Amino acid sequence: MLRDITLGQYFPGNTIVHRLDPRTKLALTVCYMVALFAARTWSGYAFMLAVLISAVAASRINGKTLLKSLKPILFIIIFTVVLNVFFTAGDDVLAHFWIFKITKQGLVGAAQMMLRLTMLIAGTFLLTYTTSPLALTDGIESILKPLAKIHFPAHVLAMMMSIALRFIPTLIEETDKIMSAQKARGADFESGGLVKRAKALLPILVPLFVSAFRRADELAEAMESRCYRGGEGRTRMKTLVMRPRDWVALAAGAAVISAVYALFRRLP
Amino acid sequence: MPFITVENLEYAYPAHEDGGEAFTALRGVSLSVEEGEFVAVLGHNGSGKSTLARCLNATLTPTAGRVSVGGLDASDEANTFEIRRLVGMVFQNPDNQIVASVVEEDVAFAPENLGVPPPEIRRRVDAALRTVGMYEYREHAPHLLSGGQKQRVAIAGVLAMAPRCIVFDEPTAMLDPRGREDVIGIIRKLRDENGVTIVLITHHMDETLGCDRVYVMNGGKIEVSGTPSEVFTQVERLRSIGIDAPETVSLLYGLRLAGVDVPLSALTPDECAAAVADAYGKRVSPADSAD
Ligand SMILES: Nc1ncnc2c1ncn2[C@@H]1O[C@H](COP(=O)(O)OP(=O)(O)OP(=O)(O)O)[C@@H](O)[C@H]1O
Ligand SMILES: [Mg+2]
């Protein structure tokens, strides 16, 4: 049951989207976010949706997979929408009860917020679906590298991320194993209230933590015995290279932002 | 001069901050390993094998005594990095020594740390993966591999560092028989074809067949040492420190106790079979045994 988690998953492929430099894709994701929040009109949202759909199409990622991945975040989206409906100030009151007022502005704002959030999350998922975790951490490290001058631990951060990514499947597997072992002894994880379920999880977490610490110890020793001593003097087998297609893609990203600012900023 | 020299090595694990006493795990170990040698280290649980291994690549600094690797003193911190490059380590649990989420990236880890130029890293990674027979899996995720395959990746990761010696600390303890066979085959191949010096720590006697020297540890000391036939024929002494001789020798030992005149030194199953056949005076001709 833990294997269904698709968050942060990578679907290998060989499309133009897959082949872009991870730094380009990170920058494009930021462009996309900025444009998404700058857009203020319905046609603006339609435009951004078109941008998203064409990116998804170019990456050959299954649209259904992308939609499914939104499920775990549905709660957050609904929560934000509800907040927006009830707490947006406005004078076009449609309904009124107790301290709540539902206004036309509130409904419009909520609908827009829902669109924004959904598209925002879908866009970032597209990034992780088309970029290997390793490439992503390499990209982040490379972008943050200039900050090393002010003693920002860019390499440490990237190393931590890549080790976390490396061990997520291992720990999920281990959790599964511990759970089956406990189930075989009569443990019940699926019924009862929140407190009861949380209590049932304790016998899983304890061995999991113990083993995670042991793994961390052993991994540290193995890394040191393979001459690891931090980022200094380290080279990489695969160096990141910006190709013409990356510059074209970045130009397209800039064009989207400019278009949004020029055409879709009029407040409704 | 031997490649590794260990003289009167002592090591004590420091006392825990929250009470507890310092624990002396090694009490005067001396040994030497020649370049290109295949050395096996045996001993029951807690006899200090892993502690010794950690001293060989400067993970631990001796409390007393001396360890020298390729002429470098392991107690001198300035040599730590070079010694780690010269002496690679393969550990028991393959899961906990693989760093990256792609096989080839993991193999590249050590040369990357050493600052090797990218094209050379690529060359070393491909060569190391071919040596262990995992080249086809270079773009796979390690967690989807079998235990034996993971351990082969771990070996490739050490090979890419171009070490002169590799210390294997119970590399097959967590593997199924098939994975064990693969890994032991690779270890032998490394010695025979690549000239890598091998120190193999193990619980399995059969893995030590064909090695040049055997050291048997007990209570932080080396109890018995010598060539395999010198060591394994001391059946009673080995039993007294909790170690069983190889099954071949145990069989011959039993026959001798029963009054059959067989030599104890036939270590491989083939030699053992020949010795038994000889004793019974019924040698089967090779042509008969072929079918
Ligand atoms: N980090 C540590 N701190 C304190 N004591 C330790 C530590 N590691 C090992 N020891 C102790 O040192 C002794 C030797 O341990 P070592 O791991 O070298 O044995 P080993 O021969 O490798 O055993 P095994 O066959 O179980 O791997 C053991 O008694 C152990 O309890
Ligand atoms: Mg050990």
Cβ contacts (< 8 Å) between B59 and chain A: which residues? 221, 224-225
- Residue whose token pair is 């009569």: A186
Domain B4-245 CATH class label = alpha beta
pLDDT at A1: 40
Q: What is the mean pLDDT of each run of 10 residues along chain A (268 residues)?
A: 53 88 94 91 91 93 84 84 79 72 80 89 90 86 88 89 87 88 80 78 87 94 93 88 93 93 75
pLDDT at A62: 87
Q: Which of residues 48-107 of B touch A (CB under 8 A)?
A: 54, 57, 59, 81, 84-85, 88-89, 91, 93, 95-102, 104-105
Q: What is the pLDDT of residues B28-74, one digit of tens each?
A: 999 999 999 999 999 999 999 999 999 999 999 999 999 999 999 99
DSSP A268: -
Side-chain-side CA neighbours of B201 within 13 Å: the count stands at 24
Region label for B281, one of left (φ > 0), alpha (ψ between -120 and 50) or beta (otherwise): left
> Token pair of B252, please?
């011959």
Question: How far is the centre of ligand 1, averaged over its atoms, from the C-alpha of B47 (Å)?
Answer: 7
pLDDT at A4: 46
pTM metric for this prediction: 0.84
Q: What is the pLDDT of residues B147-189, one digit of tens each?
A: 999 999 999 999 999 999 999 999 999 999 999 999 999 999 9
Cβ contacts (< 8 Å) between A165 and chain B: which residues? 101
DSSP class per residue in A212-227: HHHHHHHHHHHHHHTT
Assign B244 to helix, strand or coil: coil
Q: Is the CB of B45 under 6 A from ligand 1?
A: yes
| Chain-centroid distance, C-alpha B11 | 20
**β-bridge pairing B87-90 and B4-13:** unpaired
Contact (Cβ atoms closer than 8 angstroms) between residue B176 and residue B147? yes
Q: Per 3-state DSSP, what percentage of chain B is helix, strand, and coil (rounded to 5)?
A: 45, 20, 35
Question: How far is the centre of ligand 1, averaged over its atoms, from the C-alpha of A212 (Å)?
Answer: 20
CA distance B110 to B108: 6
Is A221 touching B (CB cutoff 8 A)? yes
Residue of A nearest to B161 (CA): A226
- Residue whose token pair is 């906990």: B96
Is the CB of B89 less than 8 angstroms away from the CB of A238?
no
CA distance B260 to A130: 71
Question: How far is the centre of ligand 2, averaged over its atoms, from the C-alpha of B43 (Å)?
Answer: 9
pLDDT at A166: 86
Residue B193 has pLDDT above 80, yes or no: yes
The whole-angstrom distance between A25's CA and the closest CA on chain B is 20
Assign B225 to helix, strand or coil: strand
Please enumerate in sequence order all residues whose Cβ is within 8 A of that of B61, keeping only pairs 6 or more positions apart, or say none.
B55, B74, B75, B77
Q: What is the pLDDT of residues B213-270, one digit of tens each?
A: 999 999 999 999 999 889 988 988 998 988 888 888 888 888 988 888 888 888 888 8
In the structure, how many helices (H) and strands (E) does chain B have? 11, 10
Is A215 touching B (CB cutoff 8 A)? yes
Residue in A55, A11, A9 with CA at minimum distance from that of residue A252:
A55
Going from N- to C-terminal start, the domains of chain B cover 4-245, 246-291
Q: What is the pLDDT of residues B111-155, one digit of tens each?
A: 999 999 999 999 999 999 999 999 999 988 898 899 999 999 999
pLDDT at B283: 54
> Token pair of B224, please?
């018995």
Contact (Cβ atoms closer than 8 angstroms) between residue B22 and residue B65? no
Please enumerate in sequence order all residues whose Cβ is within 8 A of that of B282, keeping only pairs 6 or more positions apart, or say none.
none
Q: What is the pLDDT of residues B73-98, one digit of tens each?
A: 999 999 999 999 999 999 999 999 99
CA distance A8 to A214: 25
